[in-house]
Structure 1
Amino acid sequence: MLLHSPFRSFYLGRLVSMLGSAMTPVALAFAVLDASGDAGHLGIVLACQMVPHLALLLVGGAVGDRLPRRTVLVVAHLGAGLTQGLVALVLLTGNYRLWLVGALAFAGGALNAFTSPAQRSVVAELVAPADLQRANALLATTRSAVLVLGPAVAGLLVVVAGGGWAIAGDAAGFLAAAAFLARLPAAPAPAAPAPDRRPGLWRDIRDGWTVFVTIPWLWPVALAYFVINLVNTGPWQILGPALTGQRDGEAAWGVVLSLRAVGLLLMSAIMYRLVVRHPLRFGRLAGALGASSLIALGLGLDTYWLAAFAFLGGVGFAASGITWDTALQRHVDKAALARVSSIDDLLSFAAIPVGQVLVGPLAARWGGTTVALWCGIAFAVAALAPLAARPVRRLESATV
């Protein structure tokens, strides 16, 4: 049983951390808007989180392969608890200053750059290879459930007590997560794959890129995710509510998002039991379903059909994400797994702001429905394109 193994402490740590983090976007948005009265301040704070995260991801991956991952996770969660606690204190005491909240957001984004690669790679240390898909499915199911409940709880807490208290809850979640993660079994730092007489972080990062580009099934799928995030996240987040709201009202977009979340949750639960022989083949085929919601949006389908296709999109995203994480953890050398994960994350995350910036001008020139439709088509092509590579099609679940 997964929850009777060392994985239990990691799972509980992730659970309490996710519960707090799911509330933060709503709480932070309302807290900053209430304190400043300026939507521009919120954009600056969010940028202060994203920039250091992207800039330090490769360093975070190198550190995750150089030091014991338990240590990296505990220190990063303690630091995140401290920064979020200070943000909550600033807001609750009425001492809001943009530079201060921005600096704390910058520190939080930097810490997250060290957290995400270590979290992804430590699972392979805690779980037997045969149980990796179940572990990732359990984490994905929990994340989907938390994302459904968290924003609603945050909204209620903001109304009753204010955004500062919800952010304080996130800080407490990080500290509790650090306590759970400290109970993970001690593991030595992974040995560097190609030791140098004078090793350094830059050498580690360069070696990570070497591993990344020399695995024939890895980089085609990672590049596909780059294109998918480029054409999906911005159009869906920006054109989705705009086009749906114009046609069927603002409440309709909430219905669409709820059905998408249900699809994510349901497929994550199914993946806990489903046996997949060729994970990338299955993941790429299922992942193409994610394009259906954008295509439906571009075709101007009514809310019921759009919600149905959003459900299918959620199913596709869950299946592709779980199989991808499992493939990395099973088939990438553990000594390089954090660095490979950080490169994969960097490609995915860097594409998102580019797409968000481009979607507005493109929609203004060619129309929102046209842009959504072509983005959906590009999504489907990108999801299926890696199947042209035989190593992607042939990769099996058995460890190498």
Structure 2
Amino acid sequence: MAAARPSWAGRNFVLLSAATVIAGLGNNGAMIATSFAVLDAGGSAADVGLVAAARTVPLILFLLIGGAVADRLPRHRVMVAANSVNCVSQGAFALVILSGTAHLWEMALLAALGGTGQAFFAPASEGMVLASVPGEQAGRAFAVFRIGANGAAIGGSALGGALVAAVGPGWVLAADSVAFAAAGALRAFLDVSGIPKRAAGGGILDDLRDGWREVVSRSWLWAIVVQFSVVNAVMITVHSVYGPLVAKEHLGGAGPWGLALAAFGAGTAAGALLMTRLKPRRILLTGTLGVFPFALPAAALAIPVPAGWLPPIMFCTGISIEIFAVSWMVALHQEIPEEKFSRVSSYDWLGSLAMAPIATSLAGPTQDLIGRPAALWSCAALIILLTTAVLFIPDVRHLTRHPTTTPHPPHQPEPPTSRTPNNPTQSTSSRPQHNAGN
């Protein structure tokens, strides 16, 4: 089996990919299970939004600290610790649901604990995959990695929807807890023997100031992060609040909605496969044009389309998301130095998620005020308008792919954390986060 792997796919790449697939299977099922757990407990649309916001608020609050910590400690240890936190939080969530006495505050508290774990995991994980492969293979490696992650989304969403309908959301959340434990165990076996301890350098505030300077010095970076602060909020709201509600009232419940999310996962897998071959010269222009179809799910649910139409719409959206995600990764990989990766990544995550708790908490009141169709049409319009605005940024239109990208070689010692202001990093977080898995 090892001989069948590409020569650039070493042990660390395989372990990281396997851990992401396992966690992705659990996460995508748990996303459906959480929404229906709240609804089954008698919760309203506002309650679904509040639980989603409860996860996102600590994620936002601790992201910058998580990025600074990940640039000071071994990143794989931060990832394992975060997986352990998520294992405990999801296991406790499952017990609360299976006990049949779940209260809204308990679900919100456990969701918040899970968000705290994600805040430390996300910045630490951003550079690990690309650090495990040669620089010239970065785009292909990331696309292959995404194929595995998106394949897990297909299976996790389909299986999660079916299991929620068959045995209830509690058991799906329990399976997610086990998945986090398995993923953390795999990440504990990463080979970091050649990576020395990072130099102590300045304080955390100095690290964060360095990361901020890296972000604001690039118009294409801050513009797309600002764009996705709204795009991510809209998509999270559509997928975690409005989607389950429309599915329950018009599409037949958790099963059809799980099938639609599985089709979305199939689209992302197809898009990742496409991006192993496609190498556009103007990487950000290609990626930004791929954002326009993100508006399709909101428009489809606003109508709403028949249940049979939703899977192909979600499939097309999945392809477009992957075109953006890989293009964004290539741009960051070639423009941002590795040694400040986690700090810049934390700002990217922070900007991309800043509006999400507001949007999810206001989803219920908004639909009560203007109606659900109008709220969904507004979501679609925001995506289109902001994406059009980003295309007016010259660097977005003109940033081109370099012939090769040359991060530090795989399996070589990482350089000590630099305090030089002009050493950027890499991030792939300005993209829809509902599909991200630990």
Q: 1:204 aligns with which of 207, 210, 221?
A: 207
Q: 2:3 maps to which residue?
A: none
Which stretch of structure 1 is more off in the superposition, 316-325 or 250-259?
A: 250-259
Which stretch of structure 1 is more off in the superposition, 203-212 or 371-380?
A: 371-380
Deviation at 1:138, TM superposition (A): 2.2
Q: 2:425 maps to which residue?
A: none
CA 1:268–1:5 in 2, change beyond 3 Å: closer, same or farther? same
Q: 1:11 aligns with which of 9, 12, 17?
A: 17
Q: 2:436 maps to which residue?
A: none
Which stretch of structure 1 is more off in the superposition, 209-218 or 70-79?
A: 209-218
- Assess if the C-alpha contact under 8 Å between 1:217 and 1:392 holds in 2: no
Deviation at 1:69, TM superposition (A): 0.5
Equivalent position amino acid for 1:281 in 2: L
Tell me, in whole angstroms, the C-alpha distance in 1 between the residues paired with 2:283 and 2:267. Answer: 19
Equivalent position amino acid for 2:287 in 1: G
CA 1:286–1:88 in 2, change beyond 3 Å: closer, same or farther? closer
1:256-271 matches, within 5 Å, as: 260-271=264-275
Deviation at 1:122, TM superposition (A): 1.6
Q: Does 2:161 align with 1:155?
A: yes
- Assess if the C-alpha contact under 8 Å between 1:10 and 1:180 holds in 2: yes
Q: 1:385 maps to which residue?
A: 392
Which stretch of structure 1 is more off in the superposition, 226-235 or 310-319?
A: 226-235
Q: Does 2:321 align with 1:317?
A: yes
- Assess if the C-alpha contact under 8 Å between 2:90 and 2:177 holds in 1: yes
1:18-37 matches, within 5 Å, as: 18-34=24-40, 36-37=41-42
Q: 2:251 maps to which residue?
A: 250
Tell me, in whole angstroms, the C-alpha distance in 2 between the residues paired with 1:67 and 1:5. Answer: 22
Deviation at 1:94, TM superposition (A): 4.9
CA 1:102–1:385 in 2, change beyond 3 Å: closer, same or farther? same
Equivalent position amino acid for 1:141 in 2: I
CA 1:107–1:377 in 2, change beyond 3 Å: closer, same or farther? closer
Q: Can you give the 5+ residue segments of structure 1 that lack an aligned partner in the other structure?
A: none
Q: 1:82 maps to which residue?
A: 88
Q: Does 2:382 align with 1:375?
A: yes
CA 1:397–1:13 in 2, change beyond 3 Å: closer, same or farther? farther
Q: Please state whether the residue corresponding to 1:183 is helix, strand or coil.
A: coil
- Assess if the C-alpha contact under 8 Å between 1:278 and 1:397 holds in 2: no
Which stretch of structure 1 is more off in the superposition, 6-15 or 223-232?
A: 223-232
CA 1:230–1:92 in 2, change beyond 3 Å: closer, same or farther? closer
User: Between Structure 1 and Structure 2, how many residues are aligned?
Assistant: 391
Deviation at 1:113, TM superposition (A): 0.3
Q: 1:110 maps to which residue?
A: 116
1:2-39 C-alpha deviation (Å, 9 max, x unpaired): 544421111111111111111212223344444x4334
1:1-400 matches, within 5 Å, as: 1=6, 2-34=8-40, 36-39=41-44, 42-94=48-100, 96-186=102-192, 187-191=195-199, 195=201, 199-230=202-233, 233-234=236-237, 249-250=250-251, 254=257, 260-291=264-295, 310-356=314-360, 357=362, 360=367, 363-364=370-371, 367=374, 371=378, 374-386=381-393, 388-389=394-395, 392-396=398-402, 398-399=404-405
Equivalent position amino acid for 2:291 in 1: G
Tell me, in whole angstroms, the C-alpha distance in 2 between the residues paired with 1:33 and 1:305. Answer: 25
Tell me, in whole angstroms, the C-alpha distance in 1 between the residues paired with 2:89 and 2:240. Answer: 28
Deviation at 1:397, TM superposition (A): 5.7
- Assess if the C-alpha contact under 8 Å between 1:294 and 1:375 holds in 2: no
Which stretch of structure 1 is more off in the superposition, 335-344 or 281-290?
A: 281-290
CA 1:15–1:302 in 2, change beyond 3 Å: closer, same or farther? closer
Q: 2:428 maps to which residue?
A: none
Q: Please state whether the residue corresponding to 1:37 is helix, strand or coil.
A: coil
Q: Can you give the 5+ residue segments of structure 2 that lack an aligned partner in the other structure?
A: 1-5, 407-438
1:38-80 C-alpha deviation (Å, 9 max, x unpaired): 3465544333212111111111111111111111111111222
CA 1:276–1:296 in 2, change beyond 3 Å: closer, same or farther? same
Instruction: Provide the TM-score with structure 2 as the length reference.
Output: 0.76
